[in-house]
Structure 1
Amino acid sequence: MQLSKDKRQDFRSRLSRIEGQVRGVQRMVEEEDRYCGDILDQIHSVQQALKSVERKIIRNHLETCMTDAIRGGDEQAVQESYDEVMDVLKKRI
């Protein structure tokens, strides 16, 4: 994956926040005996945060790897890149 220093730091920061959210959910379950609805709300928040990072990484992939393959003019590399993106999308649809 081709990541600029800024994007790499942004992803690290986002993933660290998500890690903290997951720890918070764990505390809610193990230590705080919180209401199930509250726990489910926090789990949803974690899932949405992960989806946000996922979308940003997919966009980065399209902007870098896919663009490089297309500009390179190697038809086989382009087709492989398309197949790869389709495989990623199939898992999410």
Structure 2
Amino acid sequence: MRSAADRLKRAQGRLAGVARMLEEGRDCEEVVTRLAAVNRALDRAGFAIVAGGLEECLSQEGGADGLDTQKVEKLFLSLS
């Protein structure tokens, strides 16, 4: 989960940069491009968190048999 936390911290810094760009009246295309990068960073952090949880579930006693696939599917879909 450490990598997800690092991704979130970087995304937080990038988002602050986007806010500054807006305050400075920077070019719309440049702002949207940076905002898209923040969005991708958040998506990757979310997927890393879900994947880590999935890995933990599979490593626990019961393996895949104890996995609530509907819950995992719902988590992944919530990120899309």
1:83 positional shift: 2.0
Percent identity, aligned pairs only, is 26
Who is 2:16 aligned against? 23
Give the match's secondary structure for 1:33: coil
Structure 2 distance, partners of 1:49, 1:92, is 12
| Structure 1 runs, 4 residues or longer, greater than 6 Å off | none
Who is 1:12 aligned against? 5
Structure 2 distance, partners of 1:90, 1:55, is 10
* Rg (Cα) greater in structure: 1
What TM-score, normalized to structure 1? 0.71
Who is 2:76 aligned against? 89
Q: Where do residues 64-75 of structure 1 align in structure 2 (5 Å cutoff)?
A: 64-68=56-60, 70-71=62-63
Q: What 5-or-longer segments of structure 2 have no aligned partner?
A: none
- From 27, 46, 50, the counterpart of 1:54: 46
Q: What 5-or-longer segments of structure 1 have no aligned partner?
A: 1-6
Comparing both chains, which one has the higher relative contact order based on Cα–Cα distances under 8 Å and sequence gaps of 6 or more?
2
Who is 1:45 aligned against? 37
Q: 1:33 to 1:43 in 2, by over 3 A?
A: same
